[in-house]
Structure 1
Amino acid sequence: MNKIQDFLENKFAPFATKLAGQRHLAAIRDGFISFMPFLIIGSLFIIIQDFPAPGWQELQVKLFGEEFNQFIILPKRVTYDIMSLYIVASISYKLAQSYRIDSFSAAMLGIASFILLTPIKTTIDINGTTHTVSRVITVGGWYGTNGILVAIITALVVTEMFNYFIKKGIIIKMPEGVPPAVSRAFSALVPGFVIIDTMLLVRLLFLQTPYQYIHDFIYKLVSLPMQSMVANNLLGAIGTVFSISLLWSIGLNGGTIVNGIMRPFWVPLQDANLAAIEAGKLPPNIITEQFFDMIWIGGAGATLAVVFLLMFRAKSKQYRELGKMSLAPGLFNINEPIMFGLPVVLNPIGIIPLILGPVAITIVNYEAMALNLVARPTGVIIPWTTPPIIQGFLITGHISGAILQIVDILIVMLIWWPFIAIMDKKRVAEENEKVYNKGESLKL
């Protein structure tokens, strides 16, 4: 146990802390987090459109007319379906902030560069004949979830170029007395011109290849292999929950670190599920970010099960009180009282079930969905504080999702119980010793 703790404290923790603070990963993570409220808003309207209740679609048509279904989904169109534009702006802004340079100019250059790299045309079918329409920014496609990887790369490259010009002083410097807003605008002129020219050249070069656009190149060579090999299979899911739990074991928020890396590969998968549901088909993908939301029952490590064990099985007064105090936060997936109060962080006994519990229910949930015993995630994003069981129902749009989370809680309780029993026995002995010592002191 001492060797495990020594490794975690002296080897793993410094590496993980450095990774969490890496400038570019932090910008990607914070960029996605900044946009997350808008995805939740879009998801709420998806739920309204496709609420999992018999006769809901017919009721909408009866009350509001046949066009209502497409009208109510418009908020989804302006969030999900053009999210690459938001993401490139958000990441550019966050990275520029870390360099302490003009964030707004970086964001605008990021958007302009992304559009320069993206097809500005679409095709429409009229009476069986396909027509190409130029000068059109489409809703969905490369401007939606499929373009996220290019959006990330564009944001990082553009901001790095912008920062280089600013730090090297290759800018137009205005005389003193010129308003700061005007001065900042002109300082972006030279780097902006070079950046736009560079992106235009990249577009021209890719037009000479079979790929035509950088999006198709990145999607086929990076995004699709990553989705199949890492993001959208059971081994990748196990690796994800293992990494998040291991990071939490040393006090780092593993979700923000790992999700920031994996989210670009998950988003297209959940968008494909949404598209399938809109088309009246079953969701094709099991692994989405919402699949992992169902795993973290009570927070990272699925620690709501620990709360129940402390409340109803622990003999230690301290543990029982900790369980009671942790119940309300745990029901909203906030686990800090357990992680730092039990504690689980840097506790070799607690680290083992912290990792085993999520891994076990990841396997159970994946297989249950693969065998169609439980409905798959619809792709709808709900607030992470949504209480378990309700959460499972909303994510899958089916009662089976709620039942699965109940089963998950029982599984995690079984895994944690032997370890809780060890810690509880030790805590009870310490409490009895304190009572004994206090009694001896009173006698004296």
Structure 2
Amino acid sequence: MNKVQDFLEKKLLPFAVKLAGQRHLAAIRDGFISFMPFLIIGSIFIIIQDFPAPGWQELQTKLFGPGFNQFIILPKRVTYDIMSIYIVAAVAYKLAQSYKIDAFSASLLGIASFILVTPITTTIEIDNTVHTVEKVITVGGWYGTQGLLVALLVAIISTEIFNYFIKKGIIIRMPEGVPPAVSRAFSALIPGFAVIVFMLLVRLAFLQTPYGYIHDFIYKIVAAPMTALVANNLLGAVGTVFAISLLWCIGLNGGAIVNGILRPFWVPLQEANLAAIEQGLPVPNIITEQFFDMIWIGGAGATLPVVFLLILRAKSKQYKELGKLSLAPGLFNINEPIMFGLPVVLNPIMMIPLILGPVTITIVNYLAMAANIVARPTGVILPWTTPPIIQGFLITGHWTGAVLQLVDILIVGAIWWPFIAMADKQRYEEEQAQAQIEE
């Protein structure tokens, strides 16, 4: 066990800290986090449109007319369906902030660059004839979730070019006395021109290839293989949960690190699920970010069952009080009281159930959904603090999601119990010995 702890402290911890602090990954993570409230807002209207209750659609039509269904989904259109524009702006802004340069200008350049490399045409069918329409920014498609990888790439490249010119002093310098806002605007002129020219050349270069646009190239070469091999299968799901749990073993928020890397691959999967529901088709994908939300019952490590065990079974006063204090946070998926109070962090014994529990229910949940015993995630995004059971129902839109989370609690509790019992026995004996000394 000492060797395990040495490995965690001396090898894994420094690497994980360095990874978590990597400038570009941090910008991607923070950019998505800053946009998350808008996705939740869009999800609320999706729930209103497709609330999982018999006769709901008919009731909407009866009360508000046949056009209400498409009217109420408009907030989803302006959040999910043009998500890439928001993400390129947010990531460019966060990356520019880390360089301490004009983040607003970098954000606007990111948007302009993304639109510059993205198709601005669409096709419509009239009387069985397909017509091409020019100068159109579409809702959905490459401007939605399908364009996320290019949005991230463009945000990073445009900001790096912008930063290079600023740091090298290749800017227009205004005389003293000019208002700072005017000075900043003119200092962005030469770097901005360089960014736009570069992106224009990128567009021109890809127009000479069979792909036509960088989006199609990235999707076929990177996104599709990564989605198939890592993001949308059982092995990838188990690896994701293992990595997040392992990072928590050394006190790092594994979800913030791993989710930031994989979220661009998950979002199109949940968008595909939403699109299928809108068309009345079966939900195609199991793995979305909400699939993992159902795993983290009580927070990363699925520690809510630990809280119940401490309250109901612990003999140690310290552990029983810890359980009581951790109940309210645990019900809202906040795991820090257990992680640092038990403790679990840097505890080679407790890292076994911390990893084994979530991995086990990941396999169970995936197989249950693959066999259509449990409904699959609809793609609706909920606040991560949504209490378990309720969370399972809303994520899947079906009562089987709630039952599955209840089963998960029992499974994880069974895995944790031998380790809790062992630690509780030791702590109880220490308390008894201390009580005898005090007497």
Q: TM-score range by the shorter chain?
A: over 0.9
Give, in angstroms, the shift of residue 172 of structure 1.
0.3
3-state DSSP class of the match of 2:425?
helix
Question: Which AA in structure 2 matches 1:7?
Answer: F
**2:106 corresponds to:** 106
* C-alpha separation in 1, matches of 2:426 and 2:125: 73
- Given the alignment of the two structures, is residue 76 of structure 1 paired with residue 67 of structure 2, yes or no? no
Per-residue displacement from partner, 1:35-78 (whole Å, max 9, x unpaired)? 00000000000000000000000000000000000000000000
Give, in angstroms, the shift of residue 402 of structure 1.
0.1
Question: Which AA in structure 2 matches 1:114?
Answer: F
**1:175 corresponds to:** 175
Question: Which AA in structure 1 matches 2:405?
Answer: Q
**1:345 corresponds to:** 345
Question: Which AA in structure 1 matches 2:268?
Answer: P
3-state DSSP class of the match of 2:388?
coil
Give, in angstroms, the shift of residue 429 of structure 1.
1.1
Give, in angstroms, the shift of residue 366 of structure 1.
0.1
1:17-28 paired onto structure 2 within 5 Å: 17-28=17-28
Question: Which AA in structure 1 matches 2:153?
Answer: I
* C-alpha separation in 2, matches of 1:170 and 1:390: 56
* C-alpha separation in 1, matches of 2:288 and 2:282: 15
Give, in angstroms, the shift of residue 127 of structure 1.
1.0
**1:127 corresponds to:** 127
* C-alpha separation in 1, matches of 2:401 and 2:411: 15
- Given the alignment of the two structures, is residue 142 of structure 1 paired with residue 142 of structure 2, yes or no? yes
Question: Which AA in structure 2 matches 1:370?
Answer: A
Per-residue displacement from partner, 1:8-53 (whole Å, max 9, x unpaired)? 0111101100100000000000000000000000000000000000
Give, in angstroms, the shift of residue 118 of structure 1.
0.2
Mark the runs of 5 or more structure 2 residues left unpaired by the alignment.
none
Aligned pair count reads 439
* C-alpha separation in 1, matches of 2:246 and 2:177: 54
**1:373 corresponds to:** 373
1:1-40 paired onto structure 2 within 5 Å: 1-40=1-40
1:154-303 paired onto structure 2 within 5 Å: 154-303=154-303
3-state DSSP class of the match of 1:348?
coil
3-state DSSP class of the match of 2:350?
helix
TM value normalised by structure 2: 1.00
Give, in angstroms, the shift of residue 4 of structure 1.
0.8
**2:403 corresponds to:** 403
1:413-432 paired onto structure 2 within 5 Å: 413-432=413-432
* C-alpha separation in 1, matches of 2:187 and 2:82: 29
Question: Which AA in structure 1 matches 2:343?
Answer: P
* C-alpha separation in 2, matches of 1:93 and 1:18: 22
Give, in angstroms, the shift of residue 349 of structure 1.
1.2
**1:442 corresponds to:** none
Mark the runs of 5 or more structure 1 residues left unpaired by the alignment.
440-444
Per-residue displacement from partner, 1:347-390 (whole Å, max 9, x unpaired)? 11111000000000000000000000000000000000000000
**2:96 corresponds to:** 96
Per-residue displacement from partner, 1:286-345 (whole Å, max 9, x unpaired)? 000000000000000000000011011111111111111111110000011000000100
Question: Which AA in structure 1 matches 2:403?
Answer: I
* C-alpha separation in 2, matches of 1:21 and 1:437: 48
Question: Which AA in structure 1 matches 2:399?
Answer: I
Question: Which AA in structure 1 matches 2:37?
Answer: P
* C-alpha separation in 2, matches of 1:121 and 1:357: 49
- Given the alignment of the two structures, is residue 65 of structure 1 paired with residue 74 of structure 2, yes or no? no
Identity rate, percent? 80
* C-alpha separation in 2, matches of 1:130 and 1:93: 39
* C-alpha separation in 2, matches of 1:160 and 1:290: 33
Give, in angstroms, the shift of residue 408 of structure 1.
0.2
Question: Which AA in structure 2 matches 1:411?
Answer: I
Question: Which AA in structure 2 matches 1:33?
Answer: I
* C-alpha separation in 1, matches of 2:179 and 2:188: 15
* C-alpha separation in 2, matches of 1:91 and 1:282: 34
* C-alpha separation in 2, matches of 1:406 and 1:202: 51
Question: Which AA in structure 2 matches 1:271?
Answer: E
Question: Which AA in structure 1 matches 2:395?
Answer: I
3-state DSSP class of the match of 2:349?
helix
Question: Which AA in structure 2 matches 1:70?
Answer: Q
Per-residue displacement from partner, 1:105-162 (whole Å, max 9, x unpaired)? 0000000000000000100011111000000000000000000000000000000000
